[in-house]
Amino acid sequence: MIYQGGEMVNQARDAILEVLKNSKKVLFFILLFNLTASLVSMLQPVLFKDLFDQILPKKQIDTAIYYILLIVLLPVVFAALNSATAYYNNELGKRLSKDLRVRLFSHLLEIRPKQIDQIGRGEIINRLTSQVGMLCEVFVVESVMSIVSNIFLLLSTLWIMLTMSFELTLVAMISFPVFMYISKRFRNKTEKLDDMYYTVLEQGMSYLKDFFSNFKTVHLFNGQEAEKKRWIEWNDQAWGISRKSHVFHNMTVNLIADLVISLITGIVYGYSLYLILSDKILAGTLLAFIIILPRLYSIFKSLFTVHVDLTRMKVIMGNLNEIFSMERIECGHLLPDFNKVPRLELRNVTYRYSGENSPGISKFSLDVEPGSFVGIVGLSGAGKSTLFELIHRHLEPQSGEIRLDGINISEFNIHELRKYVAYNPQKTVLWSSSILENIIYPKKKEEMDESLTRKFNAAVELSHVRDFVEVLPDKYDTKIVSNGENLSGGEIQRILLARTFMNDPKILMLDEYTSALDAMTESCLNDTLLKLKGKVTILVIAHRLSTIKNADYIVVVDNGKIAETGSPEELLSMHGVFRSMYDKQKI
C-alpha cells in the first residue's frame, strides 16, 4: 500500500470501481449469461439421470430421443452463452483499461519531469501499456469474473448433487479441505516466483530503454558484442525463472491436484457402487456423478488457483498506485500581467539536490530590473542551470523566495507562468514531426490561424530559423528524425529558440544556446537579443564572452553563490573568478 499524507492511495482500485459502477448494463449481461450458462450446464447430468433411471426402464423411446436431442443441443447453447459472456467481458476490459490509461497519463502530465526517473521510463511505459492491459483485460474481467461464475456454478452443482444423493455429495466434498490445504501450502512459493519474475521483467525494460537511448554509442564504441552478451544473459535469467514457475505450476501443483482428484473420484465411484448394490441409488445417479465430478473439481481448481492471479493483480495495482502517488505540482491561480515586463527578485534562494554533495544553489539573492540583459557565467557545475530550473518552477526552492513584481512565483498559475517566462534549457529533445510543428508546439499545423502565423513568422525571423529553412526542399514541413539527426547542432538550437519566442514572453532565459553555433549565426542572434533588449528581461547563461558582450551586467556564479557582478570590463579589472576564467580561456 502507498500512503500519502496519512491517506492510503488506491486510485487504481477507485478508478476500476468507478468504471464498474458506470457499466451496470454490461455487468448485468455478464451476470445474466453466467448464471444461465451455469444452469444450462447442470441440466445435462440431470437429463442423463432421468434418462437412465426413469425413461429407459419404462421403455419410453420417443421421450428418450427427445432427451438425447436435448443432451446434444445443450453444449451448443452453453457455448453460445459463453461466447456472449466473453464478448461483454472483452467490452468491460477494454473500457477499464482505456479509463485507467487515460487517468495515469493525465497524472503523469502533472508531475515533475525528474520524478519520472524514480520509476524509470521503460518501466512506466510497461506499466501504462502491458500491465494495465493485464490487470483490466485479464485479471479483472477473467479472474475476478471467474470467481463470480465459479461460485454460481458451484452452488448450482451442489444443489443438483444434493437432490440426487446427499451421501455421495458429502464424499465428493472431501476434496474441498484438501484443495484448501494444497493452495495454502503453495501460496508463498508462488508469490516468491512471481516477485522474481516481475523484478527481472523490470530490469529488462530498463535495459532496453537504456539500450535504445545509447544505440549510437553502441556503434561508436563497437559495443555490439557486449550488448548481445547482456541481452542473452537477461533472456537466460528470465527464461530460468519462467521455467521454474512453469514447472512449479503445471507439474508440481497440477500433478498433486490431479492425484487428489483421482483418489477422491475413485472413492466416490466405489461408494456409489456400494449404494447401488444396497439399492439406495440407481445407476443413472452414478452416471450423473461421472459427468458432474470433473466439473466440480475444475471449479475447485480454478477457485483455489485464482489467488495466483489475485496476487499478480495486487502487484500491478501497487505499481499503478506508485504512479498515482507521485506528487503533482501545485498549480497556483494568479495570472501574470502580459502587458508588463516584471521585476525579478531572488531572495536567499537555496536548493540542494538530494543525496548529492553538490551545493546546488545556496542563499542566492539577485534583483533584475525589468528589461535588463543579464549574462550569467561560471564554471561547469556552478549551479547556473539550477537557477533557471527554479525560476521556471521545475524545482522548488527549499528556502527563500523567487518573486515577480513582489509576488512569489508559486502563486501564479504554472502554465501561464511558463508562457510569461520562456526558458530554453541546455538539453531539449525534439519531436519526430515537422520543423513547423516543433516550433508551434503544442499547437498542430491544422490550428494555424492568422495570429499564430504572425507569431510564427516573427519567431522564425528573430531566431534566424528562416535562413536555413528557406533552402530546404520541404521548407517548414521538413521532418525532424531521431531528435534532430538530420539537422546540425546550430540548426537545432535555432529551432528551439524560435519555440521560446512563440509565446511573446516577458522574461527570456537561454541556457548556453550559442554553444553549437558558428560565429556568423551567433553574431546574428546577438543582434536579435540586442533588438529585444529593454523590451524583455533577458537572462543568458554563456560560456563565450561574445554571447554576452551586450549584457547590462554579468553575474559570475561559483559554487551556488554569486561571486562577482559587473560589466565585462569591471570584472576583468577585478582579477577575480571572471578574470581567471578569461585567462584560462574558459570564457
Ligand X SMILES: Nc1ncnc2c1ncn2[C@@H]1O[C@H](COP(=O)(O)OP(=O)(O)O)[C@@H](O)[C@H]1O
Region binding Mg ion by CB under 5 A among candidate stretches 149-157, 218-226, 380-388, 498-506: 380-388
By CB under 5 A, is residue 385 in contact with Mg ion?
yes
Inter-residue contact 454 to 477 (CB < 8 Å): no
CB nearer ligand X, residue 383 or residue 490: 383
We find the least distance from the C-beta atom of residue 105 to ligand X, in angstroms, to be 24
Which residues make up the interface to ligand X (CB under 6 A)? 114, 353, 356, 358, 360, 378, 380-386
Q: Which residues contact 172 (CB under 8 A, 6 or more apart)?
A: 161, 264, 268, 289, 293, 296
We find the least distance from the C-beta atom of residue 430 to Mg ion, in angstroms, to be 19
Query: How far from 159 is each of 38, 43, 166, 291, CA to CA, in Å?
Result: 12, 12, 10, 15
We find the least distance from the C-beta atom of residue 382 to Mg ion, in angstroms, to be 8
Region binding Mg ion by CB under 5 A among candidate stretches 137-145, 423-431, 495-503, 551-559: 423-431
By CB under 5 A, is residue 424 in contact with Mg ion?
no
Measured CA to CA, the distance from residue 240 to residue 576 in angstroms comes to 62
CB nearer ligand X, residue 382 or residue 548: 382
Q: Buried (b) or exposed (e) across 304-337, using 16+ Cβ within 10 A?
A: bbbbbbebbbebbbebbbbbbbbeeeeebeeebe
Question: What is the rounded (10 degree) CA torsion for 516, 519, 521, 522?
Answer: 80
Query: How far from 366 is each of 362, 390, 400, 406, CA to CA, in Å?
Result: 12, 13, 12, 13
Measured CA to CA, the distance from residue 205 to residue 209 in angstroms comes to 6
CB nearer Mg ion, residue 459 or residue 548: 548
Q: How many residues bind Mg ion (CB under 5 A)?
A: 2
Q: Which of the choices Mg ion, ligand X, none does residue 381 contact, using the CB cut-off of 5 to 8 A by kind?
A: ligand X
CB nearer ligand X, residue 387 or residue 495: 387
CB nearer Mg ion, residue 320 or residue 395: 395
CB nearer ligand X, residue 153 or residue 395: 395
Q: Which of the choices Mg ion, ligand X, none does residue 127 contact, using the CB cut-off of 5 to 8 A by kind?
A: none
Query: How far from 120 is each of 125, 202, 343, CA to CA, in Å?
Result: 9, 9, 38
We find the least distance from the C-beta atom of residue 99 to ligand X, in angstroms, to be 33
Inter-residue contact 413 to 332 (CB < 8 Å): yes
CB nearer ligand X, residue 225 or residue 356: 356
We find the least distance from the C-beta atom of residue 440 to ligand X, in angstroms, to be 28
Region binding Mg ion by CB under 5 A among candidate stretches 237-245, 263-271, 383-391, 559-567: 383-391
We find the least distance from the C-beta atom of residue 571 to Mg ion, in angstroms, to be 20
Half-sphere exposure of 188 (CA within 13 A, CB side): 2
Of all helices (H) and strands (E), which one includes residue 92?
Answer: helix 61-110
We find the least distance from the C-beta atom of residue 213 to ligand X, in angstroms, to be 16
Q: Which of the choices ligand X, Mg ion, none does residue 393 contact, using the CB cut-off of 5 to 8 A by kind?
A: none
Measured CA to CA, the distance from residue 42 to residue 482 in angstroms comes to 61
Q: Which of the choices Mg ion, ligand X, none does residue 446 contact, using the CB cut-off of 5 to 8 A by kind?
A: none
CB nearer ligand X, residue 294 or residue 381: 381
Residues in the chain: 587
Measured CA to CA, the distance from residue 364 to residue 379 in angstroms comes to 17
We find the least distance from the C-beta atom of residue 504 to ligand X, in angstroms, to be 27
Q: What is the contact surface with Mg ion in residues (CB under 5 A)?
A: 385, 426
